[in-house]
Homo-oligomer: A and B are copies of this chain.
């Protein structure tokens, strides 16, 4: 990834709120979401771009703007709500569209008058998932999470012998993915009982998991593989993912084939996909702790090392039902640096996933695994923050948490910032746990 004019921190938009210091969506960001006007529930879904506290509606923009033929062709599927069509295109085309949108939204653009009617407040739109997700795979790249959880289950061997070699992952459930704002009932299931027989009922150990969502670009044909140094080309962008987990169901079901119903009841995604291009200024060197093995050759390449790791800060916030009723804002439970938390880069996950000939398709979702930093207050799950439920968290409403309670709302946030670049963010990824049905 190289930087271009769209990353210039001095670039300003004619959408005034994009200049706000604390906005997640300055003109340097330009993330994509799938949405439609709340006022018209019959309106077709379309792709929009967040800009300040507004949205550029690409259905309106395609119709009202003046675009060269190549840009018009790229906008056409987006006007119809199909982000996968853009994801399938080469990165050069994705960069060209970004440049066209950046120019159109920049101060002084000749398009301002034509496009102003295509801009409306973000609150005027409802969101769907940002793209069609054919397959969802969830990785386990958070090494401090893997170590902490492993310690609870296997004190003698927290990290498996394969951990530093294999980007561990498993297949997830695509049908129950929902966009931020979702609410879902506490799942029922089997849990370990007193004797041989299990108990059955609502999970008593409900948890969240703070993850990044990596979206696949063009992908590969089945039977071929994506080389590590080509993997950035197939890394479309990033969202937030809450991989809700029922720890008691998981502990009883997961041997020998892994988590299943402990995860498949719901997973929540943020509405916006921040593109790989937007994140270019925030890359960091990919470093391995001293003494750790070098990645195998298929996971190690000059271009991958040059592209580096993601530089992002991630946070978890909690708002109980009582806090909501009292008008109290969510409280932050954790924050972590992704570069500290993730043992593998998105490119390594893509290269690994396809090395056996498995075909990745545009819009496929790769979860990072829970992202926990090495220090206190940096863990991306309650399981870690409460040491398996043994140490309660004390909340501003006077209650305490070992696991989630009904009505709890969990909000994931992320942003990228560094000297000399405009800070960009991801918006909220929020979900609420309802009582069991």
Using a CB–CB cutoff of 8 Å, the interface residues on chain A facing chain B are 134-135, 137, 140, 150, 153, 160-162, 165-166, 168-176, 178, 184-185, 187-190, 196-198, 200, 222-225, 246, 249, 252-262, 264-266, 293, 296-298, 352-353, 355-361, 364, 437
Contact = CB atoms under 8 A, between A and B. Distances in A.
21 contacts: A150-B256, A170-B259, A171-B171, A171-B172, A175-B222, A175-B359, A175-B360, A176-B359, A185-B223, A187-B355, A187-B356, A187-B357, A196-B293, A197-B293, A198-B296, A200-B297, A222-B266, A254-B256, A257-B259, A261-B356, A265-B357
B264 A198 contact: no
A255 B160 contact: yes
Contacts of A249: 356
B169 A260 contact: yes
A255 B184 CA distance: 30
A232 to B, nearest CB: 21
Interface of A (DSSP majority class): loop
A130 B242 CA distance: 33
A356 B162 contact: no
A252 B153 CA distance: 19
Contact of A161 (B169, B196, B359): B196
A253 B358 CA distance: 15
A2 to B, nearest CB: 31
A52 B34 CA distance: 48
A266 B196 CA distance: 37
A174 B135 contact: yes
Contact of A264 (B162, B297, B358): B358
Contact of A171 (B196, B264, B358): B264
A356 B165 contact: no
A84 to B, nearest CB: 13
A176 B222 contact: yes
A164 to B, nearest CB: 9
B257 A140 contact: yes
A361 B171 contact: no
Nearest to A164: B196
B175 A361 contact: yes
A290 to B, nearest CB: 17
